Amino acid sequence: MTDQGTYHHGNLKEALVQAGLDILHQQGLSALTLRACAVRAGVSHTAPKNHFGNLAGLMSAIAARGYQKLTETMQTGLPQDATRADRRHAALGGYVDFAAQNPGLFELMFSPQRTNGDSPELMEQANRCFDVLRDVSEGLVWDKSDAPDAALRAQIMHWSIVHGFAQLTASGKLTKGEMKHLQIFDVFPQFDYKA
Amino acid sequence: MTDQGTYHHGNLKEALVQAGLDILHQQGLSALTLRACAVRAGVSHTAPKNHFGNLAGLMSAIAARGYQKLTETMQTGLPQDATRADRRHAALGGYVDFAAQNPGLFELMFSPQRTNGDSPELMEQANRCFDVLRDVSEGLVWDKSDAPDAALRAQIMHWSIVHGFAQLTASGKLTKGEMKHLQIFDVFPQFDYKA
DNA sequence: GCTGTTATGTTTACAGTGTAAATATACCCT
DNA sequence: AGGGTATATTTACACTGTAAACATAACAGC
């Protein structure tokens, strides 16, 4: 178990991911190179190969951390006795805010070309993020049918609309004119819960 | 007006964009380099500079063509007397299909890092695509209010959900297990039109 | 028709990138 | 103590985008 002990560098794996996150919101996605991460972590530019294999491996690890942060953002500011509607509000709003405040990281997280879609840790963190949306999707009245996949459909609908809105705004496709001030809650119908 | 005449190459601008599209769905986004486009068009690797300035310029032109193709895909197969509901069905289904069949191009089109968001032709084609969604968004009964921005909100909701669903499926975030077979029409409520 | 100007391509050069191989060093276990 | 392994460096290389200098073809004006 050499993961936490003080080794040559300490634990370079964590340092490289953190360096990548720093670069992302200081210089943007175009500056996120393998060598730049290595330099910032204080090692040679081939050191990351031992931990991540190649560039896609490092990018996947950074993206996985991004999902972790996104999940946290979706759950911040919630009181102890938050209702499901409160959690839904926080989740959708947090998702959009995260994309707006971390455009480079957000683009990386959903870039199949740069990341390994089958990375275990990436899939795990993405699923954890998806779980939050499942929680707030259960029991919506909009779904009149009692089909067994109703909950799944509501979950996918939530992720689709919040992700679409987040990316369209973060990528600047929706900023022109008067639509700039619209929030996702203005656009997405405010369905009630059955219970 | 040397745009169409037979010049050194003919019209290299069009040839380079076409070369980029060919590379995209033959080798994917990672193979879409400036030099590869130039080689395929039969010119030296610095020739594109005259027409597009730099890599981002060429990428923006290819992305603009992508929006043009997307708009066409959203409108194919429609009969002369298609109702608005028919057009809506075709638009949403076409959008999702386009993303699934052109994953590299789709990623490029929504990659602010690789394209110039303020490119005139890119904005024009993206707006033309958005216009299709505005058409099918008017008069939906889900919007009970008569607020002046109701149409705009419906339009944004349509683009958000169809784009989110398309990207989540195209990027592989929604392919696990039983949700693979779900279409967007299973997920998105089938609102009726007022008229 | 000839010449000057501009648009279009080429050649050459260069800094930066990811990756692989060979090598070195520090830690761990017996 | 000593061998084995994980970790990091050095070196090298092919590839990328960009810039500058140069070459060539179209066009404009006389």
Give the pTM.
0.93
Check whether A10 has a pLDDT greater than 70: yes
Q: Dig out the tokens for B144 from the structure.
A: 């009970």
Closest chain B C-alpha to A6 CA, distance in angstroms: 36
- For A78-87, A185-194, B96-105, which range has the lowest pLDDT when averaged over its residues? A185-194
CA distance B85 to B137: 10
> Is B31 an 8 Å CB contact of chain A?
no
The percent of residues above 70 in pLDDT, for chain B, comes to 91
Confidence of residue A193 (pLDDT cuts 50, 70, 90): confident
Sign for the pseudo-dihedral over CA of A112, A118, A124, A128: positive
Name the residue among B156, B170, B182 with its Cβ closest to that of A182.
B156
Mean pLDDT value across residues A30-57: 98
SS3 A140: strand
Q: How far apart, in whole angstroms, are the C-alpha atoms of residue A41 and residue A18?
A: 9
**A114 neighbors A54 (Cβ within 8 angstroms):** no
Confidence of residue A178 (pLDDT cuts 50, 70, 90): low
d(CA B132, CA A122): 35
Query: In angstroms, how far is CA B162 from the centroid of its own chain?
Result: 12
Mean pLDDT of A99-105: 97
In B, which residues are within 8 Å of A184 by CB distance? 160
Residue B92 has pLDDT above 50, yes or no: yes
Average pLDDT value for residue range A111-120 = 97
Handedness of CA A78, A120, A169, B137 (dihedral sign): negative
The continuous run of DSSP H or E covering B184 comes out as helix B184-187
pLDDT digits (tens, 9 = 90+) for A128-176: 999 999 999 888 877 666 677 888 888 899 999 999 999 999 998 987 7
Q: How far apart are CA B92 and CA B185, in angstroms?
A: 8
Greater confidence (B150 vs A35) lies with A35
Please state the rounded mean pLDDT for residues B117-141: 93
Q: Looking at the predicted structure, is the pLDDT value of residue B5 above 60?
A: no
CA B13/CA A98 separation, integer angstroms:
38
Q: What is the pLDDT of residues B169-181, one digit of tens each?
A: 999 998 776 676 8
Average pLDDT, chain B: 90
Q: Taking a contact as any Cβ pair under 8 Å apart, which residues of chain B between 96 and 155 contact chain A? A: 103-104, 107, 110-113, 117, 126, 130, 142, 149, 152-153
pLDDT at B182: 87
What confidence tens digit (pLDDT) does each residue in B16-43 have?
999 999 999 999 999 999 999 999 999 9
CA-to-C1' span, B1 to C4 (A):
20
Label residue A9 by pLDDT band (50, 70, 90): confident
- Is strand C within 7 Å of residue A49 (CB)? yes
